[in-house]
């Protein structure tokens, strides 16, 4: 009798009493096809980010600690700055021997002259000096290995922190969302509702985008945004997604 009661209770538990079946997780319409077409458009790898992005700005033959520092500096310089300008500034810095110690020994005026004309270069001079001093004192000249610690550094935001994790530490802690990724995610309706800020977009994307795509998505969308899905006057007629892009009909 005890066994039959157990069976009965199990049956009731599994059948439920009018309970709704679990809902499938939300994902954007046509996103896999859109992504595949963006991959096709990016296959030539000839956008500015491909040749002059942060992943190309550091000395790959430098010791790992120096390489990671150079990655972080390139990211700090890249904010509100075209890849071409960031790349040129990094080249000038590297010619002088770009290490934690060399930057600490450099006065602010000299540093400013080297990194000019990157966007907000005066603020970046201060941030670079402050952050470099913290790296020397707290991290032995290396950069932190977590997003939480990276965003505590002066002049380092979430996008930079996630890219630093990708490039310097080869670790995927989240999606790096800049203005291109933010804009295109909203145009493609890759977010449930419109987002106003890149951080909102990052959270929204991470809710549904498979984790194995998190590292690739920044590189793909940045180049796509530089060449085709422009901020103003996007080249919809040249885009393979024209027929399945929610924004193409309105633009």
| Secondary structure string (H, E, C) spanning 128-141 | HHHHHHHHHHHHCC
Cβ neighbours of 5 (radius 10 Å): 9
Other CB atoms within a 10 A radius of the CB of residue 201 amount to 24
Query: How many Å from the N-terminal Cα to the C-terminal Cα in the chain?
Result: 70
* Torsion angles phi and psi, residue 149, rounded to 5: -75, -40
Residue 226 to residues 29, 43, 233, Cα–Cα distance (Å): 24, 14, 12
* Upstream peptide bond of 117 is cis (omega within 30 degrees of 0): yes
Catalytic residue annotation: 159
């Amino acid at each position: 009798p005890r066994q039959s009661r157990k069976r009965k209770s199990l049956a009731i538990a599994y059948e439920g009493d009018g309970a709704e079946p679990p809902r499938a997780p939300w994902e954007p319409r046509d996103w896999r096809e859109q992504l595949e077409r963006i991959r096709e458009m990016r296959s030539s790898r000839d956008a500015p980010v491909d040749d002059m992005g942060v992943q190309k700005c550091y000395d790959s033959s430098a010791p790992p600690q120096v390489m990671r520092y150079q990655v972080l500096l390139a990211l700090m310089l890249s904010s509100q700055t075209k890849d071409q300008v960031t790349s040129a500034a990094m080249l000038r810095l590297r010619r002088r021997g770009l290490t934690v110690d060399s930057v600490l020994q450099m006065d602010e005026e000299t540093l400013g002259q080297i990194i000019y004309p990157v966007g907000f270069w005066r603020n970046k001079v201060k941030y670079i000096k402050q952050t470099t001093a913290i790296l020397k004192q707290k991290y032995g000249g290396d950069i932190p290995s977590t997003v939480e610690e990276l965003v505590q550094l002066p002049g380092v935001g979430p996008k930079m922190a996630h890219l630093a994790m990708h490039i310097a530490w080869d670790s995927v802690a989240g999606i790096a969302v800049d203005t291109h990724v933010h804009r295109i995610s909203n145009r493609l309706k890759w977010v449930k509702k419109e987002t106003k800020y890149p951080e909102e977009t990052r959270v929204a994307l991470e809710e549904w985008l498979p984790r194995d795509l998190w590292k690739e998505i920044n590189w793909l969308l940045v180049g796509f945004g530089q060449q085709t899905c422009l901020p103003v006057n996007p080249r919809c007629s040249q885009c393979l997604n024209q027929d399945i892009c929610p924004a193409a009909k309105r633009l």
